[in-house]
Amino acid sequence: MEDLHSEFLQPLEFLFYLQHLMMDTMKTSTTKINLVLALNQVENISNLIAGNEYEHFLVSHLVPIQIELQRQLTNLNISTTIKG
């Protein structure tokens, strides 16, 4: 009877593993989309402030945000490649 139980447990553990993997993939995809959208918003703000009297000041604060978003996206892509 114990052997029968272990046969059912293994497929169940495999299903939990697949579910975890799918959820992790969906979370990664959502994060990538959000990072790309955020980068697009930074670009939009840059375009909107072009010619503004304080453009240099404003851009100096946007550049670190843009760099950080690109860093996170690169790291996410690298970790996805390593896991996959």
Q: pLDDT tens digits for 19-73?
A: 777 887 888 889 999 999 999 999 999 999 999 999 999 999 999 999 999 999 9
The pTM assigned to this predicted structure is 0.73
pLDDT of residue 81: 74
Using the Cα atoms of residue 60, residue 73, residue 26 and residue 10 in order, give the sign of their dihedral.
Answer: negative
CB of 73 closer than 8 Å to CB of 36: yes
Q: How many other C-beta atoms can be found within 10 angstroms of the C-beta atom of residue 38?
A: 16
pLDDT of residue 32: 92
Using CB atoms within 10 A of its CB, is residue 45 exposed (0-12), middle (13-18) or buried (19+)?
Answer: middle
pLDDT of residue 7: 54
CA distance 73 to 39: 10
pLDDT of residue 84: 58
Using the Cα atoms of residue 49, residue 50, residue 52 and residue 58 in order, give the sign of their dihedral.
Answer: positive
Query: Tokens at residue 73, please?
Result: 């996206």
Above 50 in pLDDT, residue 1?
Answer: no
pLDDT of residue 82: 74
